């Protein structure tokens, strides 16, 4: 019985180490920041404010998520928020983008992050516009 518990401890420890190494490797291999949340508020018939949460585990002064964009499904750019520094001590982080003008016919938009090295990509978030 005593030998069994040490085996269980060893297996649990091996699993935990493998998980930590795997997460670190994933962060190093990630090419783009991910958008993990996006909310939108109606400000006027064609004007909206966005709060966007970005996750970029590789954020360092040498390489970081440097923007996010609000685009239509057809690729039309409605707004962009440039990020001027890394957010290494604040992951994930939320930033706003105010007064985004979006024509009346548009029902939903896509929010996407940008990496300094690879450009736009990663996990996006589709947001339905309120009052549309």
Residue-wise pLDDT for 12-47, tens only, equals: 444 444 444 444 444 457 789 999 999 999 999 899
- Quote the pTM value: 0.75
Structural domain including 109 reads: 32-128
Cβ atoms of residues 64 and 87 within 8 Å: yes
Please tell me whether residues 25 and 85 are part of one structural domain.
Answer: no
Whole-number Å distance between alpha carbons of 88 and 93: 9
Please tell me whether residues 19 and 77 are part of one structural domain.
Answer: no
pLDDT at position 90: 80
Please tell me whether residues 106 and 64 are part of one structural domain.
Answer: yes
pLDDT at position 77: 98
Can you tell me the mean pLDDT for 109-131? 95
Cβ atoms of residues 34 and 56 within 8 Å: yes
Please tell me whether residues 19 and 79 are part of one structural domain.
Answer: no
Q: Nearest CA to 100 among 124, 79, 77?
A: 79
How much is the mean pLDDT over the chain?
Answer: 83
Please tell me whether residues 24 and 37 are part of one structural domain.
Answer: no
């Amino acid at each position: 019985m005593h030998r069994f518990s040490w085996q269980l401890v060893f297996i649990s420890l091996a699993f935990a180490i493998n998980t930590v190494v795997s997460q670190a490797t994933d962060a190093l291999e990630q090419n783009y920041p991910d958008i993990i949340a996006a909310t939108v508020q109606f400000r006027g018939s064609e004007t909206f404010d966005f709060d966007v949460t970005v996750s970029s585990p590789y954020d360092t002064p040498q390489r970081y998520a440097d923007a996010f964009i609000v685009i239509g499904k057809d690729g039309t750019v409605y707004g962009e928020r440039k990020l001027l520094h890394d957010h290494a001590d604040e992951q994930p982080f939320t930033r706003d983008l105010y007064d985004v003008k979006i024509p009346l016919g548009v029902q939903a938009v896509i929010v996407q992050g940008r990496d300094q090295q690879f450009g736009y990509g990663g996990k996006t978030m589709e947001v339905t516009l309120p009052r549309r």
